[in-house]
Amino acid sequence: MENILIEKMDHNGRGIARTDNKTIFVSNALPNEVVDIRITFEKKKIAEAEVIKYIKKSEDRINPKCPYYGKCGGCDLMHINYDNQLMYKESKVKEIMERYGNISCEIIKPIVGGEQYNYRNKITLHVKDKAGFYLKKSSKIITIEKCDIADKKINEIIEKLNNINLDGIYEIVIRTSKNNQSTMLVLKLYNEIDNNKYINDFKDLVDTIVLYKKRQFETIYGNGYILEKLNNFNFKISPDSFFQVNTNQTIKLYDKVVEYADLNRNENVLDLFCGTGTIGIYLSSYCNKVLGVEINKYAIEDAKFNKKLNNINNIEFKCLDAVKINQVTDSFDVVIIDPPRTGLEKETVAYLNELCPKKIVYVSCDAITLARDIKLLSEKYDVIEITPFDLFSNTEHVENVCKLVRK
């Protein structure tokens, strides 16, 4: 199709065009651009397409610095200058909140930006002879020499990996701590080979090496974890621990959680979906006590480790599914929730409405599920403020922190 006008962008960073009573979602296309396209997927009223020629380019378009952009499926906004990425994300949050949550744009604060490149503290590489990323919408692997959004230390490791025989390995996870400058390599294996081979091949690259085989982790070099520092707190990062991938932005985000919680030293806090205890520990000096709840037993083990590591005495952790949170009979003044992308289950919403704490601080990686859950809590809570954070530069993802106060 020729001379297609792109009207605006959708929530996934694609351009939107309309022709012949059909809505077409066009990857790597910006508002007001005129393009020739090739349809890649089609239904009666919608289609997906890719650009085969730019007739008129937007002034906001830049040349992506990554040589794999458009091939690798990791980034989708690198063709937009960073200021406009932030504007797009902020307006996306406003539109979603207004449309799905009946939330006024006036309470949404300006997005908090960060580094555009070299921010990721973790990447996963797939292996077929060489290490790389999956091609977009494919299981084929493109070999890479570096990743522009990954930490520089990770890129040093990638460069050296390309000169090592990776037989027997199907996946490699590289994790690094920004503030402690330590690194971890997790090698996922098809079959067992002498551990000394992996130690000899990789020990000069990283501080610790962990093998994953038969659904179990085995540390063969170093202590099996790394430590990251967020302000005055240290946190253990295990091979499969969840830890925000953008360390510097995480500190800003947690500071906002502290601000929105607005704690006095007499209040009790429930940290729901607590993971390895990072938010609860970060808040602990501002309140009377914290209970962290998390379904993943390995995360709870790390949380208890982090409690001892930081000499925190007023926090406890419980391994429990959030849908069974009504089993916790304690009362709480403030609840912090940081759920997965799917948001809250109806049982958890019911518990929060019944518990009715004075404040809820909701950390969300998906604006649509946040808007949905806000609506479900709206009988008893007013939304006071939402601050978006750019934790994932060059991608369409946005993190949000929302303050709700009991009516």
Q: Active-site residues: which are they?
A: 365
Q: Say if residues 205 and 280 touch (Cβ distance below 8 Å).
A: no
Q: Say if residues 34 and 48 touch (Cβ distance below 8 Å).
A: no
Backbone dihedral angles phi then psi of residue 17, each to the nearest 5 degrees: -125, 155
The Cα-based distances of 2 to 5, 39, 48 in angstroms read: 9, 11, 15
The residues near 301 (Cβ < 8 Å, ≥ 6 apart) are none
The Cα-based distances of 303 to 109, 120, 256, 277, 289 in angstroms read: 31, 22, 21, 5, 15
Length of the chain: 407
d(C-alpha 187, C-alpha 99), whole Å: 44
d(C-alpha 149, C-alpha 140), whole Å: 21
The Cα-based distances of 187 to 73, 126, 127, 217 in angstroms read: 22, 10, 10, 9
d(C-alpha 198, C-alpha 68), whole Å: 29
The Cα-based distances of 179 to 151, 190, 303, 329 in angstroms read: 12, 33, 19, 39
Nearest residue to 363 via CA among 382, 328, 345, 389: 389
How many helices (H) and strands (E) the chain has is answered by 8, 22
d(C-alpha 246, C-alpha 179), whole Å: 12
| Strand, coil or helix: 291 | strand
